[in-house]
Structure 1
Amino acid sequence: MADEIEDLKALFTAKPRPTSWAERRQRMDEICAIDPPPDDIVFSPATIGAMQAEWSLGPGSDARRVLLYFHGGGYCSGSITSHRGMVGRVGRDAAIRTLAIAYRLAPEAPYPAALEDALAAWRFLRDQGYAPGSIAIGGDSAGGNLTLALMLRLRAMGEALPAAAWLVSPWLDLRMTGKTLDSKAAIDPLISRDYLTGLAAAFLAGHDPGDPVVSPLYADLAGLPPVLIQVGSSETLLDDAVRGAAALGAAEVRTTLEIWPRMIHAWMLWSERLTAGRAASDHAARWLRAAFGEARG
């Protein structure tokens, strides 16, 4: 396992870091989708207004249950393509359908564009006949932030909430006060304080980073459905996940926190190369199956 993660880290450093937004987006698609998704999963396009989306369905899966997924990328990059393998694998193993969306990206579309698109995707699923208890929401990094932001928006509007939420390496504090941003800086090959500072500035466009709407760590989290948080021990965002789990637990939300030794940011993206990626995906799939079972009961 140690060799697997070191080989992956070497991949990340093989080329210089891109600088422009277009180069960053291209590089993320290349590196995150370096391996094709499992070939037994059917992917099909969808549109939600002007927004592109993609369904996935594995053999024998129950299309009446769905995971709505928001990709990571700091609200500035990432795509359906970059996260296709990760999302499809978990959906297949959970025996459910998935819907991934291409929400608008900053800096061209700063806050609240992504949240508006997430709400549109929720409305789309409801219009398709999915009951809230048949929907789970998930996301990694900024997508984890967006997952909580959408549930908080739904709660504020008095709407029923999804059955469960799945957060992978979530970025929950855009004020960036987590201690591991510095203590893990030497071993995290992907995420640095300077990198996040640029992403936050592009996304916020002057909005207060301490506003709970954009930093769910500071929100009142009471009343949310069960949450699974998975994070790697080698991440600068480890503290966001740990503090997020504590805040959810303090708000009486049933919360499961998994810290995976030696793993990096959103390591399940590279499950074809990482034994721990496949294991973490399997944990998430089993947790989602159980959460849907409880919602039905």
Structure 2
Amino acid sequence: MGSPELQHMAAFYEDMAAKFLLTDNIGVWRDISESLHLLASEPEGVTYREVDAGGVPALWAVPAGSSSEHVLLHSHSGGSVVASPWMDRKAVGHLARATGVPALLVDFRLAPEHAFPAQTDDVRDAYRWLLDQGYEAAKIATVGHSIGGNYAVNLALVARREGLPLPGAVLSMSPWFDIALDNPSIDGKAELDKMLSRTQLTAFGDLMLEGTGVAKTDPRINLQHADLAGLPPTFVLYGDQEILTDDSERFAVRARAAGVHVRLEVIPGGQHNFLFGAGKVPEIDEAVGVMAAWLREKLGVPAS
């Protein structure tokens, strides 16, 4: 069952999912999604600043006393249709503070107004901007959750394809890798996942790819079909209550077979996008500490 705080998080998700079912208005979905920031506490000593990251709107989350040489490049959740950096800022602020590294949260364009690959293009352009600012690729971690967990990995694949230097590490939380929804856990854990459903994910995938001619099995967006060779060290975490558990587990098997150094961990009782509980849920705060220690090691962040 987990802590009372973890159970409260699941109840919050269940209430939010019920509100989604009341409408098919995307604007209302976006308004509902922004309430997720309420689950996280405000991290102490973190300041925020909007920036133009090479033509891409973004939000800096800068912990006091953090490294000036390292960056967490964060992609938010929301299936490419809803959500924003402002929804994620507190949760990511906790991770940045624990790591001792500033985070740059990318405000990538949303579908259906901007179909794929607008989202991955924006994440790539923000990464290029960081490189142009003088940050070393080896000191940048690409991170994200849900579809952002896809984009965190995808950025490294795009960098490999386009000849850019690879980031130093990848942190992918509750990732949505299989846009075609072919994994058994989509239906097998439907009663446990209080946020996601096959119906919702199908709608997000349709809106993301509408009119593009890109199939839901295309390896540029469906990482269950991508060539994973050459990825940087990668850490994947997920909650055992979410319908995307197979996305994480199958990815780890394929990545290891491709020679990638992969760490895979599960949060017992954890829901999708568990990071939103940062600062309020003890299980999530423990996970934040584990992720931060891994990031510091892989990026070479000096002890404070």
Question: Do Structure 1 and Structure 2 share a fold, with TM-score over 0.5?
Answer: yes
What SS does the corresponding residue of 1:45 show, helix, strand or coil?
A: strand
Q: Could you tell me whether the CA contact under 8 Å between 2:56 and 2:125 is conserved in 1?
A: no
Say whether 1:74 aligns with 2:79: yes
How far did residue 114 of structure 1 move? 0.3
What is the match of residue 130 of structure 2? 125
What is the CA–CA distance in structure 2 between the aligned matches of 1:177 and 1:32, rounded to whole Å? Answer: 30
1:230-253 CA deviation, whole Å, 9 max, x = no partner?
000001000000011111111110
Count of residues paired in the alignment: 295
Mark the CA change 1:35 to 1:140 in structure 2 (over 3 Å): closer, same or farther. closer
Which residue of the other structure, out of 148, 155, 162, is the alignment partner of 2:153? 148
How far did residue 49 of structure 1 move? 4.6
What is the CA–CA distance in structure 2 between the aligned matches of 1:10 and 1:258, rounded to whole Å? Answer: 23
Q: How does 1:1-297 map to 2 (within 5 A)?
A: 1-14=2-15, 16-18=18-20, 19=23, 20-205=25-210, 206-293=213-300
TM-score by length of 2: 0.93
Q: Could you tell me whether the CA contact under 8 Å between 1:62 and 1:97 is conserved in 2?
A: yes
What is the CA–CA distance in structure 2 between the aligned matches of 1:37 and 1:246, rounded to whole Å? Answer: 36
Runs of at least 5 residues in structure 2 that lack an aligned partner in the other structure = none
Q: Report the more deviating stretch, 49-58 or 144-153.
A: 49-58
Mark the CA change 1:162 to 1:47 in structure 2 (over 3 Å): closer, same or farther. same
The residue type paired with residue 85 of structure 1 is K
What SS does the corresponding residue of 1:280 show, helix, strand or coil?
A: helix
The residue type paired with residue 47 of structure 1 is D
TM-score by length of 1: 0.95
What is the CA–CA distance in structure 1 between the aligned matches of 2:101 and 2:227, rounded to whole Å? Answer: 30
Using CA pairs below 8 Å that are at least 6 residues apart, which structure has the higher relative contact order?
Answer: 2
How far did residue 145 of structure 1 move? 1.0
- Among all aligned residue pairs of Structure 1 and Structure 2, give the percentage whose two residues are the same amino acid: 32
Q: Could you tell me whether the CA contact under 8 Å between 1:33 and 1:84 is conserved in 2?
A: no
What is the CA–CA distance in structure 1 between the aligned matches of 2:196 and 2:251, rounded to whole Å? Answer: 18
What is the CA–CA distance in structure 1 between the aligned matches of 2:30 and 2:125, rounded to whole Å? Answer: 23
Runs of at least 5 residues in structure 1 that lack an aligned partner in the other structure = none
Q: Could you tell me whether the CA contact under 8 Å between 1:32 and 1:270 is conserved in 2?
A: no
How far did residue 35 of structure 1 move? 4.0
The residue type paired with residue 118 of structure 2 is A
What SS does the corresponding residue of 2:60 show, helix, strand or coil?
A: strand
How far did residue 209 of structure 1 move? 0.7
Q: Could you tell me whether the CA contact under 8 Å between 2:39 and 2:276 is conserved in 1?
A: no
What is the CA–CA distance in structure 1 between the aligned matches of 2:124 and 2:150, rounded to whole Å? Answer: 14
1:49-68 CA deviation, whole Å, 9 max, x = no partner?
54321112212210210010
What SS does the corresponding residue of 2:224 show, helix, strand or coil?
A: helix
What is the CA–CA distance in structure 2 between the aligned matches of 1:88 and 1:177, rounded to whole Å? Answer: 34
Q: Could you tell me whether the CA contact under 8 Å between 2:54 and 2:129 is conserved in 1?
A: no
What SS does the corresponding residue of 1:225 show, helix, strand or coil?
A: coil
